[in-house]
Amino acid sequence: MKLELRGITKRFGAFTANDHIDLVVEPGEVHALLGENGAGKSTLMNVLYGLYQADEGEILLDDEPQHFSGPGDAMAAGIGMVHQHFMLVPVFTVAENLMLGHEPAKFGILNLDAARAKVREISDRFGFDIDPDALVEDLPVGAQQRVEIIKALSRNAEILVLDEPTAVLTPQETDELMAIMDELRKAGTSIVFITHKLREVREVADRITVIRRGKVVGTALPTESNEELAAKMVGRAVDLSVDKA
Chain residues binding ligand ADP by CB under 6 A are 12, 15, 17, 35, 37-43
* C-alpha torsion 94→97→102→108, nearest 10: 50
Q: In what order do the strands lie in the sheet with 64-66?
A: 15-25, 3-12, 56-61, 64-66
Contact stretch for Mg ion (CB under 5 A) within 28-36, 51-59, 111-119, 182-190: 51-59
238 phi/psi in degrees, rounded to 5? -125, 135
Between residues 147 and 233, which has the closer beta carbon with respect to ligand ADP?
A: 233
Q: Residues 75, 78, 81, 86: is their CA dihedral positive or negative? A: positive
14 contact, one of ligand ADP, Mg ion, none, CB 5-8 Å limit per kind: none
Burial (CB count <10 Å: 0-12, 13-18, 19+), residue 60? middle
Q: Residues 2, 30, 99, 123: is their CA dihedral positive or negative? A: positive
CA distance 164 to 113: 32
Between residues 48 and 139, which has the closer beta carbon with respect to ligand ADP?
A: 48
66 contact, one of Mg ion, ligand ADP, none, CB 5-8 Å limit per kind: none
CA distance 78 to 1: 8
Between residues 15 and 172, which has the closer beta carbon with respect to ligand ADP?
A: 15
| From candidates 18, 42, 46, 189, binder to Mg ion by CB under 5 A | 42
* Strand residues in the chain grouped as ranges (E): 3-12, 15-25, 30-34, 56-61, 64-66, 79-82, 159-163, 190-195, 207-212, 215-220
39 contact, one of Mg ion, ligand ADP, none, CB 5-8 Å limit per kind: ligand ADP
Between residues 12 and 70, which has the closer beta carbon with respect to ligand ADP?
A: 12
CA distance 153 to 145: 12
CA distance 24 to 215: 15
43 contact, one of ligand ADP, Mg ion, none, CB 5-8 Å limit per kind: ligand ADP
218 contact, one of Mg ion, ligand ADP, none, CB 5-8 Å limit per kind: none
Would you give the binding string for Mg ion spanning residues 144-183, x where CB under 5 A is met?
Answer: ----------------------------------------
Between residues 84 and 111, which has the closer beta carbon with respect to Mg ion?
A: 84
Check residue 195 for interaction with Mg ion (CB under 5 A): no
Contact stretch for Mg ion (CB under 5 A) within 11-19, 40-48, 99-107, 232-240: 40-48
Residues near Mg ion (CB under 5 A) are 42, 56
